[in-house]
Amino acid sequence: MSTSTSIRRCWLSTMARLKGVILRIANSPRDYAWGSTTAIAELLGREPSGAPEAEYWLGDHPGSPALVVDRPAVGRTLADVTTSLPGGRLPFLMKVLAAAEPLSLQVHPSLAQAAEGFARENASGVAIDDPRRSYKDDLHKPELIYALSDPFIALSGFRPVAAARSELATVDEPCVNDFVERLTGDGALADVVAWLLSGDPEVAHLATALADEAGDEAHPHPIDPHGTWATVRRLAERYPGDPGVVISTLMHTVVLRPGEALYLPAGNLHSYQEGLGIEVMAASDNVIRGGLTPKHVDVDELLAVLDARPLPAPRLEPQVTQPGFSVFRPDVPDFCLTVVEGEALADGALMGGEGPSILLCLDGQLSVDGQTTVTRGDALYLSDGPYEVGGTGRVVIASANE
């Protein structure tokens, strides 16, 4: 047996015997083109890399597992650690997300849709790393975004057709008038979206006409800096002629202030537009794109997964369990997010459930079980809680939704 193999077996055996493991973790930001060059570094108190820093992953997802930066597992990935502990891999992934430009227009599948799609693409021989692949695993990917910036702007879900018609009817342009005529009612949304994604050359012409209207200083109504026309202008500048420019007029432009959250269930069409936030999701990488991206667009699959019903913007209100404690609980068991602020932990409190958690300190100084101190930018993996957390500042904790 090699020395390295012996060492690895030794630390795995040690980790498996431990209960209440606390590990300091860190990662490198993902450099997607839409990312901010400064926001994540400023939040975590680090020097920016100079490249776009879009997402900072804190979890054991194989796409970018966090690294353990202290003993007994220093230098190992968190994925190595969790596979050796009771409970195995985390059912969730937490990220810091910083969007300087719009993300793709996308949906995520339900569990049943993911299982079927993953099996279908496997059977057809599409490689897991093929950019044309929509299903990287057989899991769903509901997600929650908690705003840190003011504002955090997102497109999310469809608004009532009457609201879209009201705004579009102000445009004196034949192709826009024809589009309004297609919007016969809420039940028409699925067919309208299918047409917009069909490749009809008229769609690009329509997108251009809407962009011209959004940029016209003689617009008949004052343009809300965070409303529909501002969204059209922003998208058209980055993706001229894209059908997503037109689809955005049918959707909610949601403006979050710090401390507010959205929950995006399966089938919800969305696109984060700009801002900094904490994102928590089921541990999946299944993204089905419909536009606003140079990446693979799978129109047929998006239409199959899409929830085209007009629904209220999916804001998620927290449960305030006590002053300074806010818990955001979606309708899935995979994850929830707890936010603790100010002096709420001055006298200490038990945090986390029986399963594992990921803790990120956003400011202040806190201690965990009296043995680990965290300050701004520090992150911990916590197994088999609860843990005594004390100090002052602001901390976010992702865990299973028990």
**Overall average pLDDT of the 326-336 stretch:** 96
pLDDT tier at 6, thresholds 50, 70, 90: very low
pLDDT given for residue 383 in this prediction: 86
3-state helix, strand, coil in the chain (%, to 5): 25, 30, 45
Flag whether pLDDT at 88 surpasses 80.
no
pLDDT tier at 4, thresholds 50, 70, 90: very low
pLDDT given for residue 54 in this prediction: 98
d(CA 22, CA 368): 9
Question: Which residues carry out catalysis?
Answer: 289
d(CA 299, CA 104): 13
pLDDT tier at 106, thresholds 50, 70, 90: very high
d(CA 307, CA 238): 26
pLDDT tier at 18, thresholds 50, 70, 90: very low
The residue count of the chain comes to 402
pLDDT tier at 218, thresholds 50, 70, 90: low
Closest among 199, 198, 167, 172 to 183, alpha carbons compared: 167
pLDDT tier at 215, thresholds 50, 70, 90: confident
* Least confident range of 8-22, 107-121, 177-191: 8-22
Residue-wise pLDDT for 243-298, tens only, equals: 999 999 999 999 999 999 999 999 999 999 999 999 999 999 999 999 999 999 99
pLDDT tier at 35, thresholds 50, 70, 90: very high
pTM of the model: 0.92
H helix count then E strand count, the chain: 11, 19
Flag whether pLDDT at 19 surpasses 60.
no
Q: Which two tokens stand for residue 28?
A: 């490198």
pLDDT given for residue 223 in this prediction: 67
What DSSP string describes 338-369?
EEE-TTTTTT-EEES-SS-EEEEEEEEEEEET
- Is 280 within 8 Å of 397 (Cβ atoms)? no
pLDDT tier at 398, thresholds 50, 70, 90: very high
CB atoms within 10 A of CB 221: 9
pLDDT tier at 402, thresholds 50, 70, 90: confident
Q: Which two tokens stand for residue 379?
A: 């992150």
Over the chain, what is the mean pLDDT?
91
* Least confident range of 70-84, 105-119, 177-191, 207-221: 207-221
pLDDT given for residue 352 in this prediction: 73
- Is 280 within 8 Å of 147 (Cβ atoms)? no
Closest among 282, 275, 317, 305 to 154, alpha carbons compared: 275
